[in-house]
Amino acid sequence: MWRDTVRTSNDGVVSIHSLRGVPVEVHERGSGAIVVFVHGEDGLLFSGPLIAGIAHGASVRSIVLPGWGHEPWPAHITGVDDLAIVLLDYLVSLPGPVVLVGVSLGAWVVAEALVRGAANVRAAVLVAPVGIKVRGRTDRDYLDLYAAPAGEIARAMHASTPVVDRTMLAAVEFDELARAQHATTRYVWKPYFHDPKLRRRLDRVLVPVSIIYGATDRFVYDADEFYTAYANAFVPPARVVRVADAAHRVDEECPRAIIDEIQRLVAEGLA
Amino acid sequence: MTFRSWFFTEMPYPDLPPDGEFESMRVTLPSRVFDPVRGAELYERYFDLYRTADAAGLDVMVNEHHATATCVDACAPLALAILARETKHARLLILGNPVSNREEPIRVAEEMAMCDVISRGRVEVGFVRGVPQEISPSNVNPVLMKERFWEAVDLIVQSWTSIDGPFNWEGDHFHARQVNVWPRVYQQPHPPMWIPTQSASTVVEAADRGFNLAVILNGHDGARRMFEAYRQRRLEQGLAPVMEHQLAYLGLVFVGEDDAQAQAGARQLQWYLQNNKVAPQFLNPPGYQPPALRAPILAAEARGTALGSPIADILNATIDELVDRGMMFVGTPDAVIEQITRFHERVGGFGNLLMMMHGGHMDHDTTARSIDLYAREVQPALRAAFTG
């Protein structure tokens, strides 16, 4: 395993790690207790304010999963289980127990890593996690991003107008978004946004878990019911934080709620 | 090889609700719109037309689409099987089998083999990747479609050509045990294989494998580019020079006894172009094309210029414009001969004209008259002019 620092900027240090031959970009920012951040469907495109907020009191390591970013995407990385193993490989390279944070698809990756016995994790925060199925065979748990009109998707994801105006993205950001959607599609297509075995495995998780979700999240069929079911699959149940003014993209709409939860967990770890 | 003309109907179900009452002709149009009694009449009409084309001396082509009124041939192998019995002389082109979207390539190999034997070796097998709006009905991951496509083709070809007992296949996308396709295909080592495409990368693969290349409604400029790319690739790879029978073009064709009759027929053919409304979310799914090609489309969508139709640029074109661009061949026999001859010159030659000769509400007699005129007057002239 090696790492190679490729650049530094005001946003921190970017390095490329080789994790059992898989090249993975990691962005490091801030200092203090280590928080590992796992992005969602859009990669790190809209996560800047959240990461900056976490970095005020911690050393944030944001991992760019294979398929996102610019590193080559190895052909054998085909499923969310592969992403979980990449994350596990990264975690064992870190000193001391960390707080692990994942957003949406990233939270699914975190959950898959946790059920495989993640080392070096003190606590986990799952923000609007996906990855489990609660309903029956004719009822999707997640809005069909490949069939719903754009307006319906926008309303599912955001409680109000997105902080970042999508119409104002630069060409390179549309490139990044296209790559992110390509990668997401590769991983979530079928079964759609879930692993049928995950829900029954969550009771294997031995570290404290918090679930943060937006009250008006319409990407899942019923936010309160769905995330309660998710939380109750852990033993003991995950702590639940319901954010009133957010939909599925809690990380964009209310980063403060996530930062507060992380800071609480970091403080508990230091105590 | 002789110049071939292939009759084709998409088998539309034309009795639609008013345009404002549905969002998309594809994927979401409720099947309650389809009246099975009317549907039975239409299938009878379409298979009668195929028989008429066969009797007139044309070859015939079928295709398939799913969850749409534009094409109710949802299972092209079934249509091919019917035509294998109902026709006597025509070559039978299926263009094609959407093998990315099907779970069992061996089943496809068996279907084609049966039709080839029943028709005594008249089948030509096309393989298609499928249009973006077929992704939801097939539920195949768009990122994987291309990989699945070529693996399925490889498996099918091996299953046709392995005749000394079973083999096994454990690929990235398909697994098959004790593969031993019965019946054996009639044409040895296998039927001619075709691929339609709009993509330069697929042209390369088709050229390398020697598949016949079909270009669909691209006009003369698009067809010339694709044919040249195919020829160039064969040349670069040191492969046998391209013969015209390896190249095909699909256009809309109507032949009338006079201009008025031809124009009336052409207007009916335009139904296909003007009734192909697809909701934007089905047109540009992630994974169907590389991110670099999709990014500018995403940018356009974000700025409110979403695509509304896969053929938006020709949706409202006049008949004259369509003729000028080489998408439609319309007129009296002499006019159609002149248009196709000019097209043939502009694209550098090709050996197969795939002819959508029926559209929308066009009835049997109208279509049959056009078929008859084409077969009696146009095809012989083209064959005399183009056959080497």
Structure tokens that stand for B73 in this block: 């041939």
Residue B307, pLDDT score: 61
Residue B293, pLDDT score: 92
Establish if A166 touches chain B: CB-CB under 8 angstroms. Answer: yes
| Longest distance between any two alpha carbons in chain A, whole Å | 49
Residue recorded with tokens 């790190």:
A44
| Distance in angstroms (rounded) separating the CA atoms of residues A109 and A195 | 11
Contact A175 B279 (CB under 8 A): no
Torsion on CA atoms A172, A173, A178, A179, rounded to nearest 10: 80
Q: Which domain holds residue A197?
A: 2-270
Residue B107 has pLDDT above 90, yes or no: yes
Residue recorded with tokens 């079973």:
B166
> How near does any CA of chain B get to the CA of A190, in Å?
7
Residue A1, pLDDT score: 60
Residue recorded with tokens 């964009």:
A252
Nearest to A141 by CA among A199, A87, A57: A199
Pick the residue from chain A with its C-alpha nearest to B288. Answer: A182
Structure confidence by residue, pLDDT tens digits, B52-64 = 999 999 999 999 9
Q: B301: buried, middle or exposed (CB in 10 Å: 19+, 13-18, 0-12)?
A: buried
Radius of gyration of chain B from Cα atoms?
20
Pick among A146, A153, A173, A176 to test the B interface (most B CBs inside 10 A): A146
Ramachandran area for residue B128 (φ above 0: left; ψ -120 to 50: alpha; else beta): beta
Structure confidence by residue, pLDDT tens digits, B164-196 = 999 999 999 999 999 999 999 999 999 999 999
Structure tokens that stand for B282 in this block: 């089905």
From chain B residues 162-201, the ones with a CB under 8 A of any chain A CB are none
Structure tokens that stand for B292 in this block: 């670099």
Radius of gyration of chain A from Cα atoms?
17
| Distance in angstroms (rounded) separating the CA atoms of residues A227 and A171 | 36
Residue B170, pLDDT score: 98
H helix and E strand count, chain B: 13, 11
DSSP bridge partners of A125: A101, A210
> How near does any CA of chain A get to the CA of B18, in Å?
21
Give the start-end residues of each E strand in chain A: 2-9, 12-19, 22-29, 34-38, 59-64, 98-103, 121-127, 209-214, 239-243
CA of residue A108 relative to chain centroid, distance: 7
Kindly list the structural domains of chain B, giving each domain's residue range(s) and its CATH number in brackets, ordered by start: 4-386 (3.20.20.30)
Contact B143 A182 (CB under 8 A): yes
Structure tokens that stand for B323 in this block: 């003729």
Structure tokens that stand for A181 in this block: 């959607």
Residue A167, pLDDT score: 82
Residue B303, pLDDT score: 84
**Element at A53 (helix H, strand E):** helix A48-55
Residue B124, pLDDT score: 98
The stretches of chain B forming alpha helices (DSSP H) are: 36-56, 76-86, 105-118, 135-138, 145-161, 200-209, 219-236, 259-274, 291-302, 319-324, 333-346, 364-373, 379-386
Contact B302 A166 (CB under 8 A): yes
| Distance in angstroms (rounded) separating the CA atoms of residues B374 and B333 | 7
Give just the sign of the alpha carbon dihedral A109, A112, A118, A124: positive
Residue B337, pLDDT score: 98
Residue A35, pLDDT score: 97
What ipTM was reported for this prediction?
A: 0.92
Residue B19, pLDDT score: 87
Structure tokens that stand for B321 in this block: 């414009």
Contact present, B231 and B198 (Cβ < 8 Å):
no
Contact present, B198 and B128 (Cβ < 8 Å):
no
Residue A63, pLDDT score: 97
Counting the structural domains of chain A, the total is 1
Determine the residue type at A161: T
Structure tokens that stand for A245 in this block: 């003014």
Residue B348 has pLDDT above 90, yes or no: yes
Structure tokens that stand for B119 in this block: 């028709």
The set of residues, in sequence order, having a beta carbon less than 8 Å from that of A193 and lying 6+ positions away, is: A105, A108, A130, A131, A141, A142
Residue recorded with tokens 């540009």:
B284
DSSP bridge partners of A98: A121
| Distance in angstroms (rounded) separating the CA atoms of residues A129 and A210 | 10
Contact present, A4 and A29 (Cβ < 8 Å):
no
Pick the residue from chain B with its C-alpha nearest to A175. Answer: B295
The percent helix, strand, coil of chain B (3-state, each to 5) is 50, 15, 35
Band the pLDDT of B306: cuts 50, 70, 90. low
Residue B308, pLDDT score: 57
Q: What is the CATH number of the domain that holds A265?
A: 3.40.50.1820
Q: Taking chain A (271 residues) in consecutive chunks of 10 residues, what is each chunk's mean pLDDT?
A: 70 92 96 97 96 96 96 96 97 93 98 93 97 96 96 94 84 96 98 98 97 98 97 98 97 97 87 54
Establish if A148 touches chain B: CB-CB under 8 angstroms. Answer: yes
Residue B388 has pLDDT above 70, yes or no: no
From chain B residues 24-63, the ones with a CB under 8 A of any chain A CB are 27-28
| Distance in angstroms (rounded) separating the CA atoms of residues B247 and B223 | 10
Q: Mean of the per-residue pLDDT values for chain B?
A: 95
From chain A residues 170-189, the ones with a CB under 8 A of any chain B CB are 171, 174-175, 177-179, 181-182, 184-186, 189
Nearest to B84 by CA among B107, B62, B108: B62
Residue B4, pLDDT score: 97
